[in-house]
């Protein structure tokens, strides 16, 4: 029994040694074969190096603009004027918090609405005031391709003038603007993330082949996001202030009207016979005092609502801003030659070894 077991172990060891020896012989065979083909390997490696050099010469550098910020909410919850606001039919609850909580803020930044608004923001580029979308068209040479389109005459004259309202855009303008925003979002050149879910710090990064465009795009995207957040966060409070302001203006007009009416009723000879005639004057004076008291109270409450509005307006804390010169990524000549030669050598060696392996399989 033991002898049989020993023989089995010995046989397994022999098979392993034979298999290892066979593999080493195969490696040696393949190595000798590659040495016989050293000329073609060197030639393909040189061709790969030349292609790598060519790529490094024609490729454009990429510029990365980085910006990080934190939104600080100053609102203290429900205002103490809840009962007063309800009396005038107003609500002091603001509903902009949930939309900007967690990852919702990132989704808003990466929305078509925000990106398109950013592209329609005017900037001073090379001494000329123009919308960012015009800069994008220029640096990506889109207009050159449009001018070659002889069928579509409208696109050859397409432009996005500064100051043109979005409501007046043509169908073609809307379509081109949407496609540019879609390309920016789909190409992943724009990246927005929170490195830590427990922190409210947002990092924005954009990469393009133009240094100024990368910088402008990130900065204007930040501005549009903050403006959208402020408008959403304080919309109800602003409506409350507007309604209270309208109430104050109305009471002021009544007060002034009562003063003028009282002044128009003159009493030069007050006696028992004309006391009845003085009744309208007394009424107007009483109304004026009443309106003055109410007006003063409304003004006080209006100022309180304005303070609430100021507290609800969030503060954006910029942590990092893009500064020139931006981070530049470019394939250098030496790196292109080495990388191209290495890839070329890998490809030709893989092809040669693959062809030999297939021949051996077919023979066996």
Q: Which residues pair with 62 in a beta bridge?
A: 329
pLDDT band at 359 (very low <50, low <70, confident <90, very high): confident
Instruction: Give the pLDDT score at 272.
Output: 46
Asked if 53 and 336 touch (Cβ cutoff 8 Å), the reply is yes
Asked if 204 and 109 touch (Cβ cutoff 8 Å), the reply is yes
Q: Is 283 found in the same domain as 249?
A: yes
Q: The CATH number of the domain where 228 resides is what?
A: 3.30.1890
Mean pLDDT throughout 299-306? Answer: 78
Say yes or no to pLDDT of 324 above 80: yes
Q: Which of 91-95, 144-148, 266-270 has the highest mean pLDDT?
A: 144-148
What's the structural domain count of the chain?
Answer: 3
- SS3 assignment, position 202: strand
Q: Is 76 found in the same domain as 200?
A: yes
Instruction: Give the pLDDT score at 281.
Output: 62
348 or 57: which leads in pLDDT? 348
Q: Is 126 found in the same domain as 10?
A: no
Instruction: Give the pLDDT score at 86.
Output: 45
Q: Is 257 found in the same domain as 123?
A: no
Q: Is 74 found in the same domain as 220?
A: yes
Instruction: Give the pLDDT score at 44.
Output: 86
Minimal CA–CA distance to 256: which of 280, 287, 283, 279? 287
Instruction: Give the pLDDT score at 209.
Output: 92
Least confident window among 250-259, 296-305, 307-316 = 307-316
How far apart are alpha carbons 99 and 228 in whole angstroms? 11
Model confidence over 54-104: pLDDT tens digits? Answer: 877 777 889 999 999 887 765 544 343 344 444 444 444 444 455 555 567
Q: Is 318 found in the same domain as 169?
A: yes
The DSSP element (H or E) to which 62 belongs, if any, is strand 62-72
Q: Which of 2-16, 45-59, 112-126 has the highest mean pLDDT?
A: 112-126
267 or 292: which leads in pLDDT? 292
Q: Is 140 found in the same domain as 219?
A: yes
Say yes or no to pLDDT of 363 above 80: no
Domain region containing 181 = 62-80+89-234+314-329
Q: Is 251 found in the same domain as 123?
A: no
Mean pLDDT throughout 295-318? Answer: 76
Least confident window among 2-6, 119-123, 198-202 = 2-6
Q: What is the DSSP string of 94-160?
A: ---TGGGSTTHHHHHHTSHHHHHHHHT-EEEETTEEEEHHHHHHHHTTHHHHHHT-SS-HHHHT---
Mean pLDDT throughout 23-38? Answer: 81
pLDDT band at 190 (very low <50, low <70, confident <90, very high): very high
- The pLDDT mean for the chain works out to 78
Give the number of other Cβ atoms within 10 Å of residue 172's Cβ. Answer: 13
Q: Is 338 found in the same domain as 325?
A: no
How far apart are alpha carbons 117 and 220 in whole angstroms? 9
Q: Is 297 found in the same domain as 159?
A: no
Say yes or no to pLDDT of 305 above 70: yes
Q: Is 181 found in the same domain as 70?
A: yes
Asked if 239 and 90 touch (Cβ cutoff 8 Å), the reply is yes
Share of the chain above pLDDT 70, in %: 76
Phi, psi of 324 (to 5 degrees): -80, 140
Q: Is 248 found in the same domain as 162?
A: no
Mean pLDDT throughout 157-184? Answer: 94
- SS3 assignment, position 348: helix
């Amino acid at each position: 029994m033991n002898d049989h077991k020993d023989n089995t172990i010995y046989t397994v060891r022999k098979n392993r040694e034979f298999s290892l020896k066979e593999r080493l012989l195969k490696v040696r065979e393949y190595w000798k074969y590659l040495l016989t083909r050293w000329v073609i390997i060197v030639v393909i490696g040189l061709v790969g190096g030349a292609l790598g050099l060519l790529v490094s010469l024609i490729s454009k550098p990429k510029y990365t603009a980085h910006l990080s910020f934190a939104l600080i909410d100053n609102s203290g919850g429900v205002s103490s004027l809840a009962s007063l606001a309800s009396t005038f039919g107003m609500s002091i609850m603001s509903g902009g918090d949930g939309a900007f909580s967690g990852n919702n803020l990132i989704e808003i930044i990466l929305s078509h609405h925000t990106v398109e608004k950013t592209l329609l923001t005017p900037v001073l580029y090379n001494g000329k005031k123009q919308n960012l979308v015009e800069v994008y068209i220029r640096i990506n040479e889109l207009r050159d391709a449009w001018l070659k389109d002889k069928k579509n005459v409208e696109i050859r004259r397409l432009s996005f003038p500064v100051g043109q309202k979005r409501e007046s855009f043509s169908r073609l303008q809307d379509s081109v603007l949407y496609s540019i925003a879609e390309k920016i979002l789909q190409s992943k050149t724009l990246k927005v993330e929170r490195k830590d879910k427990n922190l409210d710090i947002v990092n924005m990064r954009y990469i393009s082949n133009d240094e100024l465009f990368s910088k402008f795009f990130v900065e204007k995207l930040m501005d549009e996001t903050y403006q959208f957040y402020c408008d959403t966060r304080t919309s109800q409070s602003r409506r409350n202030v507007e309604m209270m302001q309208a109430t104050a203006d109305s009471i002021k007009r009544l007060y002034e009207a009562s003063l003028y009416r009282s002044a128009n009723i003159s009493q030069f000879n007050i006696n028992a016979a004309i006391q009845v005639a003085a009744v309208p004057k007394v009424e107007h004076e009483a109304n004026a005092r009443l309106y003055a008291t109410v007006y003063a109270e409304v003004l006080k409450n209006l100022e309180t609502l304005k303070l609430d509005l100021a507290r609800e307006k969030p503060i954006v804390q910029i942590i990092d801003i893009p500064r020139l010169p931006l981070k530049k990524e470019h394939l250098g000549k030496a790196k292109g030659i080495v990388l191209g030669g290495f890839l070329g050598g890998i490809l030709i060696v893989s092809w040669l070894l693959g062809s030999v392996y297939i021949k051996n399989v077919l023979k066996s």
